[in-house]
Structure formats: C-alpha cells, structure tokens
Chain A
C-alpha cells in the first residue's frame, strides 16, 4: 500500500511539474500534430480505404514512445542537474519505487499524443472514428502506456550510473518506430526484425490498440504487453540494485 501510494503521489507531482513547463506543453501539443500530419499524407497518398485510422493510431503511439524515451532519460538527468537525484536515492523506499513514477509520468503524459492525433485526424482529415471493440480500446491504451512506462524504467536504470547514457538512448527513437510497426506493417520488413520486435513493448501496445479499433484479437497483444512490462520490471529491479551500489561507489549520483 505504501509503495503504491509513493508511486501514485510521485506520478501526480511529476505530471504537475510537466504541466507548468511551457516548453514541455508546447512540444506535447506540436509533436503529435506533426507526426499525425506526416502519417496522414503518407497513407492518403496510398489511396487505400480505411488506412487513416491505422496511421493515426501509429502516429499517436510514436508520440507516446518519443515522450517515454526522452522523458525517462531526461527525468534522471534533470534530477541530477537540479541536485534532487541524491535526495531520491537517499530516501528510504527502494529506488525502484521512487523512479517508477518518473518514467510512468512520461508515458502517461505521452498518451495525450494519441488523443491529439485522433482529434486532428477527425477534424482536418475527416477520419472516421469507428472502433471495432470500443470497450477494449481504453484497456489497450492503458496496457500500452503502462508497458512503455516500464520500458522507460528499464532504460532509466542505466542512467543512474552512466551520466550521458540518455544521449545513446536518443538513437533509439526512429529504429523503434520502424521495428515495432508504428509507421507501416512489420510484414514489409526483413524476417529478422520480427523476433526483435517481440521484445519491445510498443509492438504489442500498437497491436492491441489497432485491433481494438480495427478488429482482431486484442487479448493476446495485451497479454504480451503485460508480460513485456513484467520482464522490464524484474530486469530494472536487478539493474537498479547493481547500478545504485555502483553509482555510490563511483560517485556518479551528483553532478560534481
């Protein structure tokens, strides 16, 4: 109960912190609209019926992934810069519980991308908003957001030790868009990409969301989201235990 409360309150304060950042809000509003516009023009040029919603959902998920990727790395760096990382590490709860809301907040705020993309598509591109399984759409989105937040946690666990690791992680933005089928179907890619995509939560997240909207079995990709999220959580717990101790040994928690 205490850990759940710490995660919840941490999430509330992180989202509140984001919400008062004008720069963050500007990026949050503009980026999904840019992604969505590009995707709409690409798919409209294809001339195939019913693909606009497919494109819109992919573009929305691209926004969630970008928010998680940059936010998870940035959250630790930002805490290090403002001198609060040491306070978080020295707090009594396990660091996993303290860090989780930081990365969850980035994927939760990223979920706005999906909403913005759907509204943009409906208003400016006349995209029909008919959902095949309307009752499963929200659970699919929630599953995707949660599993991405946990993936962010796994990535962030290395940032505690390596001060500039988020620069490397930034390279992951475009490859993950492609390798998880956010832009176009995985069947168009070489065969070796599919096994790689199985390890990545965005692949199962977008599958669950698209199937809830366009039709198909939602439960299997949702279960895979849960499995991937659980695996990320376990790995992050192990890494954090090792990396936190290493960071205390190497003195990398502070900026100086």
Chain B
C-alpha cells in the first residue's frame, strides 16, 4: 500500500541577513535531507529538541513552506505542485495560544473555518456538534475565545483542525503548556483520531506522550533523522545501558563536567528539583558509579541514588546528545 505521507531528502534553508549597517547574508539549514514514510492509520511521532526542524518539516508537508530541495507527497499529491489538493485533505494543529480569532466565539471560529473547508448547512451544524463533543467544549462554544484558558484554546485548535474530517492530521506540539488533566484529555482525543482511522503526524517534547501514543517515532536533531523505529525499538537501542538517578545538593559545573568525562559515561543531564539537582547518568550496564561519585562530586552533598531501566526519554537523550557537536 502506498504511504500516506512520504518525504524524500527534504531540505529547507532559511535565508536572512545579519548586522545593522553592513548587512551580511545568513543561511540557516533547518532541515537537512529528511526521508520518511507514514502508512495509513499510523500515528507517527517526530521528536527532537527546539530548533531541530520539526515545525519546519510539518510546515513543508502542509504546504505553508516550499522545500529548498527534495520532495514530499501527502496522499499521493506533491506538496509544491498540488498544494490545493493537499490542503483539501489534511488538517493541522499548531501548539500554543495563537491561531484563533480572539474576538469571535469558539462557535464562530469553527463556523468560519467550516465555510473555508466547504462544510456548510446542516452538515456544518452536525459536524460542529460532533467535534465540540469530542474535544469537550460543549456548553462553552458561545463564549469569546479571548476568555478561554490555554487548554480550551488548544482543544478548539484540535476541533478546528478536524472539522472537515480530514484523512491526515498534523499535530505540532498540541499539548504544550496545557495542564496535566487537560493534556490527558487531549491525548485521549488524539488516540481517538487514530481509532477513527486517521493518519496522524505528531511532534512533541513529552516522551511519555510519544511512548503512549506513537506507533513509530523518528528522532530528529539538527535537521536530520538520527533514529527511527517503534518506541520499543528505540528503547532497545540503549538496552545495554544502565540509568542511574542521583539526587545532589550544590553540584557545580566543574564537578558535572568531571562526571561527564568519566570513561564509560555516555550522558549526564541535570534537572532542578527545589533545593536539589537530579542527575540522570547513562552508562554501560555493569559500570559501577556509586563508589566514584563522592570523589567526583566532592563539593556537593549526595542524597538518594537509584538505578532503573532505560525509558524512551533516556533513549531520546542518548540520541540527541550523541548527535550534538
């Protein structure tokens, strides 16, 4: 069966200028030769850090940006030469609060976009009822969008994106900034789209979200795909590693650098937790770190140390950090 979405050596360079008086041309290669395919009914995740090229890739696929090189097809239609054919058949949702008519009600926003997508009359009323029910906005649709919470806006975005019952849906960080309860409801909505037979391309920063939802994932870093596979396959890529979480108080950069340079340590990430720092250290299975930590972190107080099995997030961190220059 032909893929629903296919990208072949897709590239995008942004050209801009730098400087005030002496303007110099500046080129930024956002996407550097992406190739992937998404099958019908599949939920495909595109994961990567900020600036990796995820949004640029989606914008090329939904015809908002022209690729600098390469080609992409959606449902067999070329995104450059057959943009209108592609536009008719897809829906897309960008994360964040923008992209809605603030002064209009949620209902008027949906009605306007329904008109643009050729859904009118009785079908429009029925379809708007359905999507309002699906995203849980029924009863709030007559309020102006400027009074909506972030979660409500995001749900309205999704309602707008699927209003015309598209075959393919592109979701660019749809749960960003949404509270945990709202994000859970949105994830259920996304899962519902796949159950309804839609093909979905999802970008997200949240690994548990990708792990829970995606059939396949491509990890993208600096404009290139660095790994592709099912969540299990990606986790399997670091199955030979151990992940140790260490709670420390007052570790400085020099100490962390010493830890990073320790033979066998493949990555060290730091997240702040109130007074403490949580170090997540990846190393080959069998490497005993616990004895060396007090010497390496001699200026810091060490709290809880725990080893655990690698998660998708660990696999992602390993892929992205090992790709970094």
Contacts of A248 in B (CB 8 A): 63-66
Contacts of A84 in B (CB 8 A): 98-101
B77 interface hit (Cβ, 8 Å): no
Contacts of A5 in B (CB 8 A): 115, 120
Question: Knowing A13-B101, A20-B144, A83-B98 touch, does A91 contact B117 (C-beta < 8 A)?
Answer: yes
Give the Cβ gap from A75 to chain B, nearest Cβ, in Å: 12
- Tell me which residues from 13 to 37 in chain A have a Cβ below 8 Å from any Cβ of chain B: 13, 16-17, 20-21
- A17 to B102 Cα, complex, angstroms: 9
Question: Knowing A87-B99, A92-B117 touch, does A253 contact B112 (C-beta < 8 A)?
Answer: no
- A10 to B104 Cα, complex, angstroms: 12
Contacts of B64 in A (CB 8 A): 86, 89-90, 248, 253-254
Give the Cβ gap from A94 to chain B, nearest Cβ, in Å: 8
B316 interface hit (Cβ, 8 Å): no
Size class of the A contact interface (CB-based, 8 Å): 20 to 34
User: How does the 8 Å CB contact mask read for B270-307 relative to A, with 1 for contact and 0 for none?
Assistant: 00000000000000000000000000000000000000
A82 interface hit (Cβ, 8 Å): yes
A2 interface hit (Cβ, 8 Å): yes
B66 adjacent to A249 (CB under 8 Å): yes
From A20, A21, A90, contact of B63 by CB (8 A): A90
A98 adjacent to B98 (CB under 8 Å): no
- Tell me which residues from 60 to 98 in chain A have a Cβ below 8 Å from any Cβ of chain B: 82-84, 86-93, 98
- A21 to B144 Cα, complex, angstroms: 12
Size class of the B contact interface (CB-based, 8 Å): 20 to 34
Most buried by B among A17, A20, A91, A93: A91
B132 interface hit (Cβ, 8 Å): no
A92 adjacent to B84 (CB under 8 Å): yes
A90 adjacent to B87 (CB under 8 Å): yes
Give the Cβ gap from B119 to chain A, nearest Cβ, in Å: 11
Contacts of B148 in A (CB 8 A): none
From B104, B111, B160, contact of A17 by CB (8 A): B104
User: How does the 8 Å CB contact mask read for A98-118 relative to B, with 1 for contact and 0 for none?
Assistant: 100000000000000000000
A92 adjacent to B88 (CB under 8 Å): yes
Give the Cβ gap from A109 to chain B, nearest Cβ, in Å: 14
Contacts of B103 in A (CB 8 A): 17, 20-21
Contacts of A164 in B (CB 8 A): none
From B87, B99, B144, contact of A82 by CB (8 A): B99
Contacts of B94 in A (CB 8 A): 83, 86
Contacts of A253 in B (CB 8 A): 64
B108 interface hit (Cβ, 8 Å): yes
Closest to A18 in B: B103
Closest to A17 in B: B103
Contacts of B113 in A (CB 8 A): 87, 91
Give the Cβ gap from B219 to chain A, nearest Cβ, in Å: 24
Question: Knowing A86-B64, A90-B92, A248-B66 touch, does A10 contact B98 (C-beta < 8 A)?
Answer: no
B69 interface hit (Cβ, 8 Å): no
Give the Cβ gap from B142 to chain A, nearest Cβ, in Å: 13
User: How does the 8 Å CB contact mask read for B144-182 relative to A, with 1 for contact and 0 for none?
Assistant: 100000000000000010000000000000000000000
Closest to B102 in A: A82
- Tell me which residues from 73 to 103 in chain B have a Cβ below 8 Å from any Cβ of chain A: 84, 87-88, 92, 94, 96, 98-103
Contacts of A2 in B (CB 8 A): 118
Closest to A250 in B: B15
A92 adjacent to B87 (CB under 8 Å): yes
Closest to B62 in A: A90
**18 extra interface residue pairs, beta carbon distance < 8 Å, beyond A86-B99, A254-B64:** A5-B120, A6-B116, A9-B115, A13-B104, A17-B103, A20-B104, A82-B100, A84-B98, A86-B59, A86-B64, A86-B94, A89-B64, A91-B87, A92-B88, A92-B116, A98-B116, A245-B66, A248-B63
User: Lowest 6 CB-CB distances: which A-B pairs, in order?
Assistant: A83-B98, A83-B99, A91-B116, A9-B115, A92-B88, A92-B87
